[in-house]
């Protein structure tokens, strides 16, 4: 695989546009040193007195907030801790020349979320089919190679800097599905984890490990992993103490338990709180956190059984436990009730556990949204989610790998960038975030800005238009989750069905006649989703089974919407290829070529989606397109 | 994997029922020696004169035929060649005690086909997903292990003896999809092929290699594989001469060319006859044969394109070339026009090339017929095929592997046995063949005979009933080809579609309104298949797209037939499990346990087939079951 690091979007490069500056840095500590190194590396002149252009003042040891102000010829960043200074410095870098002109009254900046985390689903070993990174679309792991943690962590250093620059402060180093080799990161491979932690630390990032609930047995040789067994508690306490002896600022654990075959407390008739608190108590003396994933459901469902509703599962499992989790447990809840689909309602769990710390989990890696072969700028989706819930942390699955562009699709870098920015402040608009990214990424941002906005701003909706309609989800190829297969999951055990027949389509999740899932929402949403009249069009089939002739709020029928959106979505992709073609010569040739090739694939795949979905529903409904377009 | 050889069905064991006999053997040569060894190993007393129970007389060097007669107390087998004596001896063994009682006028026996061949789709290397044997369901290869030809060929010897006892006279040693390592069997791995040939030779079996048409380039370093290029011709001549220097009775080559991505003559604007004759001319000086497969079609079809019909492909490619193939080319034609489905019409190629030597290709390995997890006695299918065409050879894909029962499912041994017997004489009835197999396999055949007939005789029809209806085929999971996925291939590039919509189902292959495939058949079949009135029910959807309300010859509608056959087929499997349960204690415990476990899986899978097919067509048609049974 290619391992050249593309220079695109290494944020300090913005100094190229402002030239060398005189910079004074006050304070000390690792993160302040990091800032000092960044300035030096970018050609800034470090001075200790006299007139300065940039005054970076760190007045304490802890804190992520900072202020920035400008008077005379000096821009001043003030922070009460190294992390704040680092974030303030990167803020100035993002501002570019604008940070050094005019007058600015003191502006306070602080992250709106204390937890801003990226999880890696990286494995040490390479699976012959799944590859090394589960749901990874950018090549192998940047952490692991040849069955071990890499010796050369240069690239991890660049990644840490990149994450630090957008405010990420925690990273999960390994797949939540913890396999045999990866389990050992907790024990004999710990020195390697410490090396990784050393690389992330200067950028304000604490590392986490995904651990197996069965570790006391598989690693510790105990006969049980029962969370109430004193020997098990002791094993976790001792093991965790050893982790902190090696990595004093270790972040904590991530656990996928009793989910999709992973071990958990159910084997011992214990509940998720018993399980989570077991680990929380081992971590508490050291200030560590356990992220306990709420992604728990019956994945061996019988498609014939209409009483089981996967959408209900997280709520049914966890809400009754509200108030029983220790304070250093964070329940990590996928943003929607199913699984990272292009469109889902926000999970009802996020508004149902007031006495539990919650983190919302997003997916920067594009498992169901084009797998970094399709342009799909996801920040608008995340913006909707984050502005409709209140949580204590934001977590996402990373999309980087060995790929020379980091993310497979060069334009998918904008999702990684945007995730960090939204996690810092969810009130930033998607257009504003994309604009920042364009500015930081392309030398001639002014030339390419308009075209990139046109290509990317609405690309999530475009993707939605040519794939599964009206919130129904899935319809993807089984296993890979790429490309269309309308009935692919329809008779499967995974609990993801659309129930299309000759008369209609959709899942009845109402309280009146369906699975009752709508009842998991607070008012007014429990009524809005319940009501065929009020339910938003884009979620209609998630909540209701309706006839093809049902008229949407948009004024057209469901079947006509399916046809229209699929013709439109595919044509929008064709238009995207035209827009991109105009950028030849304005973006680096390698970037141009990569994106051109991927857009061809996106167009092929969108055409396939359009045709398969339209033909499928035409064959079932027998209702012709009112515009008489060709349906095969 | 287990490598214990199960003693079941090693045919000489029949001596157990007749005790030691006095046997005289006249003649010499390798095959006569083999017979001598068999008799000795079975406890027979070899005598040279005086009263004998069995007189085995070989009066020449060549020939597969033999006579058997009985007068006085002596049974006499006479042959004009070692192979005939071997077959005659095994004939007596099959007869058991009956061969040694009463009087029998001289009976002449001769195979009805000169070519009786088993192909192995074995690879040397193990594919991480496909395993070692392509479409193999009985564990790894008996020929190859750890990346090389096995050192210990004991088991291959048992297999050779087994094949010799049922009259198989040729074996293909490697997969027709020739990968990198396997290509080298032709060159540097040739000494290992010679060792395998040494093991097969005493049982009258010649070995063949599948070769890559690109071998002159990949192995020979030439810049081309053009069949008309003298350097290419020379390379094949030299390479083939070296093969015969190592293996004087080498059988010849098997080639899959210009099919599913394999290289072939099309790259050089040459046709299949150019390609086949190239190899034929290299083999001719040594009496070798090239088997050239007719399984050629567009496997990158667009499902939107209704003008391409995969069923037409073999005929369209090959029939125009009739008369242009050399005499030592055998065109190897799959029995049906598509691909080893449970039900297909017989390929029209088999009656359209009078000037070409043809072999029909069957599949003993149960790729589409339950993968040796389901009881599916295929001899009735083959009997129908072989009794409706005239060919110069019969070839099948083997179903054996490392499995302790040889074939995964112990009852699948009957398919291997039956293939050999039908290849020898297609007029044997399936019940008669099964009866022989039961007698040879089970110590207490009389006790288990009735139950096994009840379980197996009609099991092919049972399988047909619970899977794809009325000859439409496929509807299997993509890739693995196991279990139901009604739309699995519907929008794929493979050319295997059912075109079900809300009104009807089936492929219109008529001349009047469809792809014209019916026109490839001679009279009367071109008219029978063309006619909705005359087309046999079991092939209706192969040839016609009909409404669900179409009434079959059976008097019920297509949709009701789908429901009825699926309820019936699944219930027949439930009955099979009951029958088998009665055999506990009457068959070896290991056999009982294995079959019991597999029948449970068959019942689970048949239930899934029933429910998915019925639900699929109920959702599409909206027509209820007239008997009101539960459809989900």
Give B366→chain A minimum CA distance, Å.
24
Residues of chain A with pLDDT > 70, as a percent, come to: 97
Nearest to B316 by CA among B292, B337, B342, B286: B337
**A contacts of B616 (beta carbons < 8 Å):** 487
Residue A92, domain CATH: 3.30.379.10
Q: How confident is the model at residue A43 (pLDDT cuts 50, 70, 90)?
A: confident
Provide the token pair at A407.
């993310």
Residue A474, domain CATH: 3.90.1330.10
Type and span of the H or E element at A15: helix A15-18
Active site residue A260: yes
Give A122→chain B minimum CA distance, Å.
20
* Contact yes or no for B615 and A491 at CB 8 A: yes
pLDDT at residue B18, as a whole number:
55
pLDDT at residue A16, as a whole number:
52
Helical spans, DSSP H, in B445-502: 445-456, 459-466
Q: Tell me the pLDDT tens digit for each residue of A126-160.
A: 988 889 999 999 999 999 999 999 999 999 999 99
pLDDT at residue B16, as a whole number:
52
Active site residue B302: no
Q: Among A55, A122, A134, A367, which one carries the catalytic annotation?
A: A367
Structural domain that includes position B61: 11-109
pLDDT at residue A9, as a whole number:
52
Nearest to A279 by CA among A314, A313, A330: A330
Question: Average model confidence (pLDDT) for chain A?
Answer: 95
**B contacts of A485 (beta carbons < 8 Å):** 487, 491
| Same domain (yes/no): A414, A481 | no
Query: A539 in a domain, yes or no?
Result: no
Give A135→chain B minimum CA distance, Å.
18
* Contact yes or no for B502 and A129 at CB 8 A: no
Q: Select from B128, B500, B620 the Cβ nearest to the Cβ of A128.
A: B128
Mean pLDDT (10-residue bins), chain B, 632 residues: 40 53 93 91 86 93 95 94 95 88 94 97 92 96 96 95 95 97 96 98 98 97 97 98 98 96 96 98 98 95 95 98 98 98 98 98 98 98 96 97 94 96 98 94 92 98 98 96 97 97 98 98 98 98 98 98 98 98 95 97 98 98 98 96
Type and span of the H or E element at A26: strand A22-26
Query: B522 in a domain, yes or no?
Result: no
Q: Tell me the pLDDT tens digit for each residue of B434-452.
A: 999 998 888 889 999 999 9
Q: Tell me the pLDDT tens digit for each residue of A265-293.
A: 999 999 999 999 999 999 999 999 999 99
DSSP A313-334: HHHHHHGGGTT-S-TTEEEEEE
Q: Among B61, B242, B260, B593, which one carries the catalytic annotation?
A: B260
Query: B523 in a domain, yes or no?
Result: no
**B contacts of A129 (beta carbons < 8 Å):** 128-129
- Residue B424's alpha-carbon distances to A517, B65, B376, in angstroms, are 65, 11, 21
| Same domain (yes/no): A78, A125 | no
| Same domain (yes/no): B24, B133 | no
Q: Look at residue A2 and give its three-state secondary structure.
A: coil
Which residue pairs, CB below 8 angstroms and at least 24 apart, start in A75-81? A75/A99, A75/A100, A75/A104, A81/A31
> Where a domain ends, among A386, A413, A429?
A429
Q: Select from A129, A303, A612 the Cβ nearest to the Cβ of B491.
A: A612
| Same domain (yes/no): B386, B280 | yes
> Where a domain ends, among B109, B143, B164?
B109
Q: Tell me the pLDDT tens digit for each residue of B66-86.
A: 999 999 999 999 999 999 999
Query: A277 in a domain, yes or no?
Result: yes
Active site residue B367: yes
- Residue B100's alpha-carbon distances to A59, B36, B50, B167, in angstroms, are 108, 19, 17, 22
Q: Chain A interface residues facing chain B, Cβ-Cβ under 8 Å?
A: 128-129, 303-304, 484-487, 491, 500-503, 608, 611-612, 615-616, 618-622, 632
**A contacts of B619 (beta carbons < 8 Å):** 500-502, 620
Q: Select from B128, B615, B619 the Cβ nearest to the Cβ of A502.
A: B619
Buried b (16+ CB within 10 A) or exposed e, B5-44: bbebbebbebbeebeebbbbbebebebbebbbebbeebeb
Q: What is the rounded distance in angstroms from the CA atom of residue B476 to the CA atom of residue B490?
A: 10
ipTM summary value: 0.89
Best mutation target, A487, A621, A624, to test chain B (most B CBs within 10 A) = A487
Q: Select from A502, A608, A619 the Cβ nearest to the Cβ of B622.
A: A502
Query: A629 in a domain, yes or no?
Result: no
Average of pLDDT values for A575-600?
97
| Same domain (yes/no): B487, B566 | yes
| Same domain (yes/no): A80, A132 | no
Give B632→chain A minimum CA distance, Å.
6
Q: How many CB atoms lie within 10 A of CB A103?
A: 8
Query: B628 in a domain, yes or no?
Result: no
Q: What is the rounded distance in angstroms from the CA atom of residue B315 to the CA atom of residue B348?
A: 7
| Same domain (yes/no): B386, B481 | no
Contact A200, A207 (CB under 8 A): yes
Q: Tell me the pLDDT tens digit for each residue of A72-116.
A: 999 999 999 999 999 999 999 888 888 998 999 999 999 999 999
Query: A227 in a domain, yes or no?
Result: yes
| Same domain (yes/no): A56, A42 | yes
Contact B27, B85 (CB under 8 A): yes
| Same domain (yes/no): B556, B424 | no
* Contact yes or no for B502 and A622 at CB 8 A: yes
* Contact yes or no for B619 and A304 at CB 8 A: no
Q: Look at residue B302 and give its three-state secondary structure.
A: coil
Contact A15, A40 (CB under 8 A): no
Residue B138, domain CATH: 3.20.20.80
Q: What is the rounded distance in angstroms from the CA atom of residue A386 to the CA atom of residue A394?
A: 9
Q: Among B6, B119, B274, B367, which one carries the catalytic annotation?
A: B367
Query: B312 in a domain, yes or no?
Result: yes
- Closest residue of chain B to A504, computed from CA coordinates: B619
Buried b (16+ CB within 10 A) or exposed e, A144-161: bbeeebbeebebbebbbb
| Same domain (yes/no): B221, B268 | yes
> Where a domain ends, among B70, B89, B109?
B109
What DSSP designation does A186 have?
G
| Same domain (yes/no): A421, A478 | no
Residue in this structure with the two tokens 């546009």, named with its chain if needed: A17
Please provide the size of chain B in residues. 632
Q: Are strands A144-145 and A74-79 parallel, antiparallel or unpaired?
A: unpaired
Residues of chain A with pLDDT > 90, as a percent, come to: 91
* Contact yes or no for B620 and A621 at CB 8 A: no
Q: How confident is the model at residue A383 (pLDDT cuts 50, 70, 90)?
A: very high
pLDDT at residue A13, as a whole number:
44
Average of pLDDT values for A6-26?
63
Q: Are strands B122-127 and B206-210 parallel, antiparallel or unpaired?
A: unpaired
Nearest to B471 by CA among B422, B426, B505: B505
Nearest to A389 by CA among A344, A429, A349, A342: A349
Domain count, chain A: 3
DSSP B590-610: HHHHHHHHHHHHHHHHHHHHH
Number of H helices, E strands in chain A: 19, 20
* Contact yes or no for B487 and A484 at CB 8 A: no
Give B617→chain A minimum CA distance, Å.
9
A14-23, A213-222, A362-371, A592-601 — which is least confidently predicted? A14-23
| Same domain (yes/no): B25, B160 | no
Best mutation target, A300, A301, A304, to test chain B (most B CBs within 10 A) = A304
**B contacts of A619 (beta carbons < 8 Å):** 500-502, 620
- Residue B200's alpha-carbon distances to B6, B116, B293, in angstroms, are 20, 14, 24
Nearest to B76 by CA among B67, B86, B84: B67
């Amino acid at each position: 695989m290619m391992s050249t690091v593309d220079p695109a979007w290494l944020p300090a490069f913005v100094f190229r546009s402002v030239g060398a500056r005189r910079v004074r840095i006050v304070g000390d500590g690792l993160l302040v040193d990091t800032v000092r190194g960044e300035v030096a590396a970018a050609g800034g002149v470090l001075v200790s007195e006299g007139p300065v252009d940039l005054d970076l003042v760190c007045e304490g040891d802890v804190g992520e907030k900072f202020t920035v102000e400008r008077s005379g010829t000096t821009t001043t960043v003030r922070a009460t801790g190294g992390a704040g200074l680092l974030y303030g410095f990167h803020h100035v870098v993002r501002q570019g020349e604008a940070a050094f002109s005019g007058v600015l009254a003191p502006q306070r900046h602080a992250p709106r979320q204390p937890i801003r985390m990226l999880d890696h689903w990286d494995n040490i070993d390479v699976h012959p089919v799944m590859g090394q990174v589960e749901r990874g679309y950018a090549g192998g792991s940047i952490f692991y190679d040849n069955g071990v943690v890499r010796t050369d962590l240069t690239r991890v250093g660049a990644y840490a800097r990149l994450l630090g620059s957008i405010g990420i402060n925690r990273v999960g180093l390994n797949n939540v599905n913890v396999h045999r080799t990866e389990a050992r990161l907790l024990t004999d491979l710990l020195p390697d984890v410490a090396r990784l932690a050393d690389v992330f630390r200067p950028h304000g990032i604490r590392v986490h490990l995904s651990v197996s609930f069965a570790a006391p047995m598989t690693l510790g040789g105990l006969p049980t992993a029962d969370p109430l067994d004193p020997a098990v508690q002791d094993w976790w306490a001792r093991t965790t103490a050893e982790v902190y002896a090696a990595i004093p600022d270790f972040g904590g654990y991530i656990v996928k338990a009793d989910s999709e075959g992973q071990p958990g407390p159910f084997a011992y008739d214990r509940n998720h709180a018993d399980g989570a608190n077991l680990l929380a108590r081992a971590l508490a003396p050291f200030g560590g956190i356990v992220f306990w994933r709420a992604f728990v459901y019956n994945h061996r469902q019988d498609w014939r059984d209409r009483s089981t509703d996967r959408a209900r599962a997280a709520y049914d499992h966890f809400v009754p436990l509200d108030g029983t989790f220790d304070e250093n447990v964070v329940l990590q809840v996928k943003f929607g009730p199913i699984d990272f689909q292009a469109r889902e309602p926000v999970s009802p769990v996020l508004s149902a556990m007031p006495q539990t710390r919650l983190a919302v989990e997003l997916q920067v890696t594009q498992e169901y949204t084009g797998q970094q072969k399709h342009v799909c700028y996801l920040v608008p989706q995340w913006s909707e989610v984050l502005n409709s819930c209140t949580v204590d942390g934001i977590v996402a699955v990373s999309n980087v790998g060995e790929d020379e562009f980091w993310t497979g699709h060069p334009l998918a870098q904008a999702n990684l960038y945007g995730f960090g920015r939204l996690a810092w402040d969810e009130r930033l608009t998607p257009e504003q975030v994309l604009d920042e990214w364009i500015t930081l990424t392309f030398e001639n941002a002014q030339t390419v800005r308009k075209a990139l906005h046109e290509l990317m701003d609405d690309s999530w909706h475009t993707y939605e238009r040519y794939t599964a309609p009206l919130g129904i989800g899935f319809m993807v190829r089984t296993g890979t989750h790429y490309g269309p297969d309308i009935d692919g999951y329809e008779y499967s055990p995974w609990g993801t069905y659309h129930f299309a027949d000759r008369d209609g389509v959709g899942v009845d999740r109402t309280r009146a006649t369906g699975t009752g899932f709508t009842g998991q929402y607070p008012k007014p949403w429990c009524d809005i989703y319940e009501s065929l009249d009020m339910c938003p069009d884009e979620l209609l089939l998630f909540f209701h089974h309706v006839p093809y002739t049902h008229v949407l709020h948009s004024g057209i029928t469901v079947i006509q919407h399916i046809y229209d959106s699929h013709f439109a979505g595919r044509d929008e992709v064709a238009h995207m290829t035209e827009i991109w073609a105009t950028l030849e010569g304005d973006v680096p040739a390698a970037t141009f070529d990569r994106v051109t090739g991927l857009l061809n694939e996106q167009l092929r795949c969108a055409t396939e989606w359009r045709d398969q979905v339209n033909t499928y529903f035409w064959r079932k409904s027998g209702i012709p397109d009112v515009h008489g377009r060709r349906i095969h």
